[in-house]
Amino acid sequence: MKIRKVKRSKTYRYNVNRKRLRKTRTSTGKIKCRTIKENWAANKSIKSNLREMGLAVDPNLAVGIPNTKQERMKIVKLVNGFVEEDVIGTAKQGKTKRPPRKAFVVQELEKEAKMPRESQFRLPRGVVKDLEYFLDKFKFNYNAMVTDRRNVNQLTWRQFRAKVKKFMSIPEQFNEYLRSKNLTKDDLRNWEEYDTDEE
């Protein structure tokens, strides 16, 4: 006979949607990568799907932790002259791995990763506003920027220089600033301290 408390705890939860619960438990979730999504077999497990594509399920197992003890043993064998035995042992251990069926997935992913991407980085509006103020007032004189009252963050001249360079490297924001002041990039060369900017 079972304990009364155990029997009492087994109550059916009517408020739970079993169909939805099963779907959430068995689903892999939304696959965001287009190439993986196209080659994903719904009837196979996650592990077998990734193995077929040549991808690792667990990166720790794929790369493996180096075994220092075995490495030391190999060095000792080499020094003592037991190399022949070691070669025979490795021949038995070495299994030939079959190439993955969908190896093209890895190649596509590598190609996608190597493609040049446009930087999405933008400076916050407040920072841009401050930099515009400093550039209007001091041009490229970073030492003068340090002494200004609006330098509440107490930035050094090197930090100012880095921020201005970053601002200039974002064409979307910097071109807007130039347009608002009716300037061209050639006009900036006449600004004070422009030559020291390349330090």
- For the chain, the domains span 16-93+101-112, 125-198
pLDDT digits (tens, 9 = 90+) for 151-180: 999 999 999 999 999 999 999 999 999 999
Output phi, psi for 147, to 5 deg: -85, -5
* Structural tokens at position 125: 């509006």
Whole-number Å distance between alpha carbons of 145 and 137? 9
pLDDT confidence of 132, banded at 50, 70, 90?
Answer: very high
Q: Read off the pLDDT band of 118 (50, 70, 90).
A: confident
Token pair 């506003």 is found at 129
Q: Is 151 exposed, middle or buried (0-12, 13-18, 19+ CB in 10 A)?
A: middle
Alpha helices (runs of H) in the chain, residue ranges in sequence order? 4-9, 18-26, 34-38, 46-53, 59-63, 68-80, 83-93, 103-114, 125-138, 142-147, 157-169, 171-180
Mean pLDDT confidence for 99-116: 92
The pLDDT of residue 162 is: 95
Instruction: Tell me the pLDDT tens digit for each residue of 25-62.
Output: 888 788 999 999 999 998 898 899 999 999 999 988 88
CA distances to 18, 27, 28, 31, 40 from 23, in Å: 9, 6, 9, 15, 17
Average confidence score pLDDT of the chain: 86
pLDDT at 108 over 90: yes
